[in-house]
Amino acid sequence: MTVLVCHHLRMMATSVAWFPLLVTGCGQGDAARTAQETKPVSDEVVAVAPAAASLPITLEPGNWEAVQAHVAKSAGKIVVVDLWSTSCVPCIEELPYLGQLQRDQSDHVVCISLSLDYIGIKSKPPESYRERVEKTLERCDVQVRNFLCTTDADTVFRELDLPSIPAVYVYGADSQLVQRFDASSLKEGSDQEEPFTYRTDILPLVNQLIVELD
């Protein structure tokens, strides 16, 4: 079994008290193995909701193939897919933007989240992570198509050649990948703490793609 860490790992001990302190599936690598009118997308800071979302959060078992099938079914709209984990602080900080994007742009955008909490432990199958994943989605008010990945995180990272999460895939109206945002998005020598954010990177791209739909 591989222990995985987030890009720029930060332990979440204070802001979300019910999260476990053990990191369980944020990235991979040698270090990890040792431990009608189109309106612009809002770029305002979205706070994590202190209470449960007003509408029920849905969470269904699935894998990357299920995500891709939903992307294909959403042809004609821009699709934003967010890969995250409850153990990844940067992931959770950005999740509210995903929910807000869906609320603001439901006519033009389909948002999907894929939780990579499952790490392949036989005694902890994917469904054992459901409660904490649902709680996070509720707190962040992420009323989108949410998947609880049934493939272990290490396999997903390997198959997608993905260095770490958070990671966001943006697809055009033709269901083709426009851009992937991940740790490699951080330019060499940059003083940025994180390689990308919704506000500075993803929302501007989505706005551009929405304009091109008209």
Is the pLDDT assigned to residue 102 strictly greater than 50? yes
Least confident segment among 17-21, 129-133, 177-181, 186-190: 17-21
pLDDT at 56: 83
Res. 36 pLDDT band, cuts 50 70 90? very low
Is the pLDDT assigned to residue 47 strictly greater than 70? no
Residue 175: both structure tokens together: 């269901």
State the average pLDDT for the chain. 81
pLDDT at 148: 98
Residue 41: both structure tokens together: 């997308």
Using CA atoms, how far apart are residues 154 and 152, in angstroms rounded to an integer? 6
Phi, psi of 63 (to 5 degrees): -145, -170
pLDDT at 191: 61
Report whether 25 contacts 112 (CB < 8 A): no
Q: What is the pLDDT of residues 125-180, one digit of tens each?
A: 999 999 999 999 999 999 999 999 999 999 999 999 999 999 999 999 999 999 99
CA-based max dimension of the chain: 52
Is the pLDDT assigned to residue 103 strictly greater than 90? yes
Res. 11 pLDDT band, cuts 50 70 90? very low
Is the pLDDT assigned to residue 207 strictly greater than 60? yes
pTM of the model: 0.79
pLDDT at 121: 96
Q: Which of 60, 67, 62 is nearest to 82 (CA)?
A: 67
pLDDT at 189: 60
Res. 194 pLDDT band, cuts 50 70 90? confident
pLDDT at 183: 87
Is the pLDDT assigned to residue 19 strictly greater than 60? no
